[in-house]
Structure 1
């Protein structure tokens, strides 16, 4: 049973420890839950900032619904970072519901997000609880930009881009969990929103994103579809939403694209056990160790949304830094609202829908993590 209001599940992982950094910064006590308490204690001592001043506990828990529900019980909010979420996420969602906790996570996996909405959204709503996947740099920054664009009357069509520095070199700037998620996406369907319906992207679709922030176009991918088409599907303001993701290193993104083509040609027909082995080898070769903490001088991001209507046209841009560190801040910002009982929605909802995009943007801006601009087109 948790002694503190916030649970961080995945306490020994890269993102989990960054969430703890921000909870400590905000003086919020937390319970760190991991499958190996010894490893969590060791990793936290090495990497969590100001841990000596924190009020916390560490619990070792098996990854099943009953064990996790028992560990979560007593808390108000669960911050889940254990991925790939398509493989592990629903157990934590069900455990949070059973324990009577609000649920936040850091996923960008569209298929999983749809599962949370369809299988658990109504149950969380009836319990007066929030189920909010994807409270992370991907795709909260892009959603903030989209919401800023939607402030212009008449906008009903969105195109968003998430552009970051993070794949240069062998796994530089990409956590082990993120690498696993990237390659796991080869097995999942990617959809965009068109006339209020989710429509599958063409196999191996790609984009050439031209932005005034860069000298050359950025090679981008649907990246599993992102969370935005799902969150905007039942939004009366939005008819369509197409999202893409690119990295400054075009060669790295083309490598990911080529691996997806190789997957379909050589591995898609294999039994799942053999596919799992291939994916594990890809992750190990890409991110063999936990990456170092991000640096503001090299980890920079640009997220923008083009909003269009019959006559309206607007571009909203969010410039940012250190996406993983920003993810920790976004999770802490959501936890603050939920601890205070201040949420605009319960059930299935995005961070912007539950807490307000202006609140999240303000939290990030005040800490030097993001800056937004809006221009009419």
Structure 2
């Protein structure tokens, strides 16, 4: 159950959650969010001495050292953990060894990958093992992937089969982290969409595409650019068409070699970056829309993935195996909880 102070309990004892890559940009947000929720974070890093010397975390945080090429170190780091959150990209390299170790430990596994091939490989490789262990594996449980899936799932409601899903993302800027740049260089796979009911290679669209977003964005020039929302949504839904788009402002920023890394704009460490995401779902002549706005895609992933962890630990999830969040959580209730918890987050449906 969940106590009034937010402690997630199991058999009367608070459960700890390991964060692999805790010293990275997103990992630090996740550690802070778990602490706010009364969950004990265990920071798993590649160089414990360096992080301790830099005093990234206070003495109350348990620091453990592990590496993806050292299974024994991962076993020790994840021992007695209720869940493992992987924040260390490129996930094409880290997801498999970290997920394997989490399942060996009997812990749920979650990550924040935006990489399509990583999410797809995790779904395919770990479903059977996770079911046998009675745990859930949730790849792409971040801004890219998980949020879009939850929004689509909530908007679909009683619909089962739909004709078309279009997801648009607008950022007023995108100052990439070092990890984002490394991942971009590592991930050279062909991007996929759903066309005629099947996964298919992305075909470059016209250069003059535009989409409407809520203020302060308005109408934005966009480019077809699918992320991990494609494999996550198709894990449990079967749209005839599924496409996603990113505004050109964000794409120009992330592609420019001189764009700086994110800078904190307040004591929480969040940057001033504004975001908006629209999902439009069509079935025949009927259309449903859901829109969310907020701030800082990296910081946003922390309460999103931590909300998933809370629900895994207090029993508000369904089943086991490698799953999409819309298949295991009440999507509408999940988003409503984020609406109450995340500053600047607003969601509308029509």
Under a length normalisation based on structure 1, what TM-score does the superposition of the two structures give?
Answer: 0.79
Q: Aligned pairs, how many?
A: 329
Tell me, yes or no, if structure 1 residue 353 matches structure 2 residue 327: yes
Moved more, 28-37 or 59-68: 59-68
| Partner in structure 2 of residue 269 of structure 1 | none
Cα separation, partners in 2 of 1:203 and 1:30, compared to 1, 3 Å: same
Which consecutive unaligned segments of at least 5 residues does structure 2 have? 1-13
| Partner in structure 1 of residue 38 of structure 2 | 27
Moved more, 320-329 or 22-31: 320-329
Tell me, yes or no, if structure 1 residue 151 matches structure 2 residue 157: yes
Tell me, yes or no, if structure 1 residue 219 matches structure 2 residue 222: yes
Higher strand share: 2
| Partner in structure 2 of residue 86 of structure 1 | 92
Tell me, yes or no, if structure 1 residue 371 matches structure 2 residue 346: yes
Are 1:156 and 1:240, in contact at CA under 8 Å, matched by a contact in 2? yes
Are 1:11 and 1:34, in contact at CA under 8 Å, matched by a contact in 2? yes
User: Within 2, Cα distance between the matches of 1:129 and 1:69?
Assistant: 16
User: Within 1, Cα distance between the matches of 2:31 and 2:130?
Assistant: 25
1:320-346 Cα shifts (integer Å, max 9, x gaps): 222222111112111212222432131
Query: Is the partner of 2:145 in helix, strand or coil?
Result: helix
Q: Which of 62, 65, 69 is 1:60 aligned to?
A: 65
Under a length normalisation based on structure 2, what TM-score does the superposition of the two structures give?
Answer: 0.84
Tell me, yes or no, if structure 1 residue 40 matches structure 2 residue 47: no
1:203 Cα deviation after fit: 6.0
| Partner in structure 1 of residue 308 of structure 2 | 334
Aligned pairs for 1:315-334 (under 5 A) are 315-334=289-308
Are 2:19 and 2:27, in contact at CA under 8 Å, matched by a contact in 1? yes
User: Within 2, Cα distance between the matches of 1:211 and 1:31?
Assistant: 42
Q: Which of 100, 125, 128 is 2:106 aligned to?
A: 100
Cα separation, partners in 2 of 1:311 and 1:85, compared to 1, 3 Å: same
Q: Which of 269, 276, 280 is 1:302 aligned to?
A: 276
1:114 Cα deviation after fit: 0.7
Cα separation, partners in 2 of 1:369 and 1:105, compared to 1, 3 Å: farther
User: Within 2, Cα distance between the matches of 1:294 and 1:63?
Assistant: 33
Cα separation, partners in 2 of 1:129 and 1:152, compared to 1, 3 Å: closer
Cα separation, partners in 2 of 1:30 and 1:155, compared to 1, 3 Å: same
